[in-house]
Structure 1
Amino acid sequence: MRVISGERKGTRLKAVPGSATRPTTDKVKESLFNIIGPYFAGGDALDLYAGSGGLGIEALSRGCDHAVFVDKQTKAIQTIQENLRVTRYEANATVYRQDARQALDELITSGREFKLIFMDPPYHAETHETFLQLIEANHLLTDNGVVVCEHGSEAELPERVGRLEKIKVQRYSDVITISFYEYASTEE
């Protein structure tokens, strides 16, 4: 695993030890950033179920100002912190060791908004629709932002959740699919 592009291009990242997390492969990561825009002029990223922190770190390397990383596993938090040290992004990051829903509630209360939101929950416990409803209802996404949902290929995510509209679906294998959401120009 490595940073694919941007100011920390080529930096190797550690994976979370054990089999409790499934890191997004470099090939999938490169493809999804080509879809959402290869580089960013600022903005914040939210990496829910962050695992090693690879997606949030990639967003920082490509120009995001700040990233929030959320994971409830101690080994994942330690790995994220080590990867932030290696990439020298500690000052550009906030790390929450807690359940993703609790973290979302705190972020909603604080009034935060994100240009990029990555959701990659364990495939056996997918909660995308609930989280998309929370994101939409509480304006966690900026007007020009994108929500990236990695999910099992057998799962079918809704075409629309409030103003959030599915703009693209990219299937990478029989196991991995990514759905992309942004605000629609009109509400149905």
Structure 2
Amino acid sequence: MGRRNPSRRQSGKVELPSSQLRIIAGQWRGRKLEFIAEEGLRPTPDRVRETLFNWIQSAVPGAHCLDMFSGSGALGLEALSRDAESATFVDLNTVTSRKLRDNLQLLKCQNGEVIQADVLQWLENRPTDQSAQYDLVFMDPPFRKDLVRPCCALLESHNLLTDNALIYVETESELGPPEVPSHWTQLREKTAGQVSYRLYSRES
């Protein structure tokens, strides 16, 4: 008799693989949260997150954050743990979005909002004169989709950034510097394996 498929529950439903995310610092320091290991999901590694938050530590408390292509929500959750005022998570995947809502509830977090939507469409649908503005933006799009340039343009055209907003952009290292608006100044840059990450400041 053959072995039962371990990826299925007795009900016959597929059991999706899960992995863990660890919050590095702040009020939830050391907390481990499960997320669904969907194909193509690349949570920002601990060492990259630690470097990023060392760069932006003074800007996080009180910040309104936007975590685009949020996936596991690693960046927005880390910001909320470090006293960001709010975080808006936007991701197309229904399963990962649902899990992120569950994790926010588990943390008893009231200032995180999860929006299950296509990021470009969501940006395009923001009213240019009434939308919330963000102090801190995390942009970690799927590789090889050419999403950084249109996202940056829409953030600007829909007036979604505060005057001196900080924008974190994560791309494949083979791509080279992404195309960003001319009044964004690059503050930091680093490469870790196949990933390059940069921090920009928007000059008013």
TM-score, L = length of structure 2? 0.82
The reply on whether 1:127 has 2:144 as its aligned counterpart is: no
Provide the aligned length of Structure 1 versus Structure 2.
183
Counterpart contact for 1:38–1:62, Cα < 8 Å: no
* Shift in CA distance, 130/136, structure 1 to aligned 2, threshold 3 Å: same
Counterpart of 2:175? 155
Give runs of ≥4 in structure 1 deviating > 4 Å: none
* Shift in CA distance, 137/165, structure 1 to aligned 2, threshold 3 Å: farther
Q: 1:98 aligned to 109, 117, 120, which one?
A: 117
Measured after TM superposition, the shift of residue 54 of structure 1 is 1.1
Measured after TM superposition, the shift of residue 84 of structure 1 is 0.9
Q: Please show how residues 39-188 of structure 1 align to structure 2 within 5 Å.
A: 40-89=60-109, 91-109=110-128, 110-158=130-178, 160-173=180-193, 175-184=194-203
RMSD: 1.8
TM-score, L = length of structure 1? 0.88
Measured after TM superposition, the shift of residue 138 of structure 1 is 3.0
* Shift in CA distance, 118/151, structure 1 to aligned 2, threshold 3 Å: same
Query: Is the helix fraction higher in 1 or 2?
Result: 1
Aligned-pair identity in percent equals: 33
Measured after TM superposition, the shift of residue 16 of structure 1 is 2.2
SS state at 2:54 partner: helix
Provide the C-alpha distance between the structure 2 equivalents of 1:6 and 1:145, rounded to a whole number of angstroms. Answer: 22
Q: Which runs of 5+ in 1 are unaligned?
A: none
SS state at 1:112 partner: coil
Counterpart contact for 1:52–1:83, Cα < 8 Å: no
Q: Which runs of 5+ in 2 are unaligned?
A: 1-20
